[in-house]
């Protein structure tokens, strides 16, 4: 079969690119070997956010006395929470399936392999196109330590399928995945320990924000060991995790261990070398248009290792499609919001103070606090702050928000940054009162 565009992988990068390609008039074949929606929908963003919301409601119900509400017998049913998660995932899979039935899109189920640089085979069928977009995602990484694959050592995928709450959960890795699951299972009743190799959790976030978030989660009963290296996992009646902290080897007992040390490009998914596609340890090598070493072949999302966020994959796909269609791309992919759905939430866009300092960039810090905001106080959500970093002329270089609805509020700043805007544009915009957005406004003055 000859077509105009082949997309390999129907995650958020792949299926969104297919919809936009078909709308632009390209006959598109999209190939998926597993469930539609990729990691994000099936074992990442959506299922974890379902459980994050359950955990937030559960925690609020247990501490509702300040609101005048007495909930004396709050119970939790993990099976029902998991069933709700599965139902939402199924609903969204159905929505994507409907999108893939649009005119101009042919969905092919099966595992793709390259026959040559512009021909892909699925089973006995072959598909040829001048343009191919690879969107085959990533897989969970494991530390190269003894016991890393022991029974009871799980990735986020398996943790999302648990049918009972572990009494003791040890999480190796304090990144986004580790922090979200720490909050979820602490609310569910687990004793949670987090072991993070870096000096602070969320190592790619602003250190001020990360430290404040860790303090908040510590108050919820989560035990943190930062600057600590996991050394081994031993099997017995339970699991024992050995870790080195401040030069001493210590141990913690666990019923379940979550290996949350990041994800790596799924380079084993296809025979990229046979097609002449250059790869590195990080992922498929691409240029500024996400084109690989083979002209007409593109790689987007986790597979190129540039930014492992679902929305990054989507917008990289849009940028690649713009290049295929020969039109200028309006996207500024360095303005890339990131969100962590803990309680409180954490979000960022642009550069951190550490990055600016290391680069020798002159900047100014503008800060405001949730505790001074009327809406936050009415919500019993006074923990957090907004920090906006600007150049001396007021141009916004980065923003960092910790607090309720931070993952929504960050986009007010992202829109300004998209247009190289000045912090004064926030200050001069009327904000509704009372609203959490006024915390962003307060930081702009």
Q: Which residues are part of the catalytic machinery?
A: 433
Phi, psi for 50 (deg, rounded to 5): -60, -50
Beta bridge partners of 27: none
The span from the CA of 410 to the CA of 348, in Å, is 7
Provide the 3-class DSSP secondary structure of residue 398: strand
DSSP code for 292: -
Q: Which of 188, 221, 182 is nearest to 201 (CA)?
A: 182
Give CA 90 to chain center in angstroms: 20
The span from the CA of 46 to the CA of 25, in Å, is 30
Cis peptide before 344 (omega within 30 of 0): yes
The span from the CA of 389 to the CA of 368, in Å, is 12
Angle (CA) 334-408-289 rounded to 5° is 25
Q: Exposure of 206 by Cβ count < 10 A (0-12 exposed, 13-18 middle, 19+ buried)?
A: buried
List CB contacts of 208: < 8 A, sequence separation 6 or more: 353, 387, 400
DSSP code for 422: B
- CA dihedral 435→439→441→442, nearest 10 degrees, is 130
Whole-Å CA distances, 164 to 49, 86, 88: 19, 16, 20
Q: Which of 185, 303, 172, 167 is nearest to 238 (CA)?
A: 167
* 375-412 CB burial, b ≥16 within 10 A, e <16: bbeebebbbbbbbbbbeeebebbbbbbbbbbbbebbeb
The span from the CA of 100 to the CA of 36, in Å, is 10
Beta bridge partners of 172: 195, 259
CB 176 within 8 A of CB 202: yes
């Amino acid at each position: 079969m000859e077509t105009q565009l082949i997309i390999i992988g129907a995650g958020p990068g792949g299926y969104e690119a297919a919809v936009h390609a078909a709308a632009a008039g390209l006959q598109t074949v999209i190939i998926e070997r597993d469930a539609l929606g990729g990691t994000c929908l099936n074992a990442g963003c959506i299922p974890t956010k379902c459980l994050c919301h359950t955990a937030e409601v559960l925690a609020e119900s247990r501490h509702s006395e300040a609101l005048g509400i007495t909930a004396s017998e709050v119970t939790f049913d993990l099976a029902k929470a998991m069933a709700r998660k599965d139902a939402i995932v199924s609903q969204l899979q159905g929505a994507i399936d409907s999108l893939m039935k649009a005119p101009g899109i042919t969905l092919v189920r099966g595992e793709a392999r390259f026959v040559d640089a512009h021909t892909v085979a699925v089973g006995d069928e072959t598909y040829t196109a001048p343009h191919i977009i690879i969107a085959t995602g990533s897989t969970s990484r494991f530390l190269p330590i003894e016991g890393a694959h022991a029974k009871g050592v799980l990735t986020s995928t398996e943790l999302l399928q648990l049918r009972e709450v572990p009494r003791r959960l040890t999480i190796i890795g304090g990144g986004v995945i580790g922090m979200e699951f720490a909050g979820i299972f602490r609310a569910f009743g687990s004793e949670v320990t987090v072991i993070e190799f870096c000096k602070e959790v969320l190592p790619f976030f602003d250190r001020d924000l990360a430290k404040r978030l860790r303090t908040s989660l510590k108050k919820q009963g989560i035990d943190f060991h930062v600057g600590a290296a996991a050394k081994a996992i031993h099997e017995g009646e339970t699991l024992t995790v050995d870790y080195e902290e401040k030069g001493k080897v210590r141990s913690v007992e666990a019923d379940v261990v979550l290996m949350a040390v990041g994800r790596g490009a799924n380079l084993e998914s296809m025979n990229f070398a046979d097609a002449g596609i250059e790869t590195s340890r990080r992922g498929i090598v691409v240029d500024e248009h996400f084109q690989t070493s083979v002209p007409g072949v593109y790689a987007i999302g986790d597979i190129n290792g540039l930014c492992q966020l679902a929305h990054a994959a989507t917008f990289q796909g849009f940028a690649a499609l713009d290049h295929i269609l020969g039109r200028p791309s309006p996207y500024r992919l360095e303005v890339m919001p990131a969100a962590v759905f803990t309680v409180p939430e954490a979000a960022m866009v642009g550069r951190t103070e550490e990055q600016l300092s290391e680069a020798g960039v002159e900047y100014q810090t503008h800060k405001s606090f949730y505790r001074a905001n009327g809406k936050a106080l009415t919500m019993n959500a006074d923990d957090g702050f907004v920090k906006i970093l600007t150049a001396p002329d007021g141009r916004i270089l980065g923003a960092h928000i910790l607090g309720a609805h931070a993952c929504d509020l960050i986009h007010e700043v992202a829109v300004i940054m998209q247009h190289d805007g000045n912090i004064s544009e926030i200050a001069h915009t009327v904000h509704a009162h009372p609203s959490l957005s006024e915390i962003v406004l307060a930081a702009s003055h």
